Amino acid sequence: FPTYTLGTLAASQLFEAAERELGSLEEQFRRGEFAPLLGWLRREIHQHGRFYTAAEVIERATGRSLEADAFLRHIRRNVEEAYPA
C-alpha cells in the first residue's frame, strides 16, 4: 500500500527532526515523558495541517522534502541491534 509507505517515510523523518530538537525520545518514553514530543508535534505539525500540504508541513518541520534516508537509518539500526555482527 503506497500510503503506508509514505506514512512510514514521513514518520521516520519527523521522528529524527523531533529528536534533533528534544534529545532522545526513546529515553523520554521510557521515563513516561510524552509531553515534549506532544508539544513539538503541536507546534511543528498540528497547527499547520489546515494551511499547508503534507509535503509542505514535512519540509517546514524537518528542513527537507520527504526522503527515505531517515527510514533507511531506522531500518539499519534495528537490523544491527537484532543481528549484531
pLDDT of residue 79 exceeding 90, the answer is yes
pTM of the model: 0.88
For the chain, helix, strand, coil in percent to 5 are: 75, 0, 25
The mean pLDDT value for 28-54 works out to: 96
Quote the number of domains for the chain. Answer: 1
67: which residues sit within 8 A by CB, 6+ positions away?
A: 9, 13
3 state SS for 23-61: CCHHHHHHCCCCHHHHHHHHHHCHHHCCCCCHHHHHHHH
Instruction: Give dist(CA 62, CA 77) in Å, integer.
Output: 20
Range of the domain at 17: 2-82
User: pLDDT tens digits, residue range 18-35?
Assistant: 999 999 999 999 999 999
Question: In the chain, pLDDT over 70 holds for what percent of residues?
Answer: 99
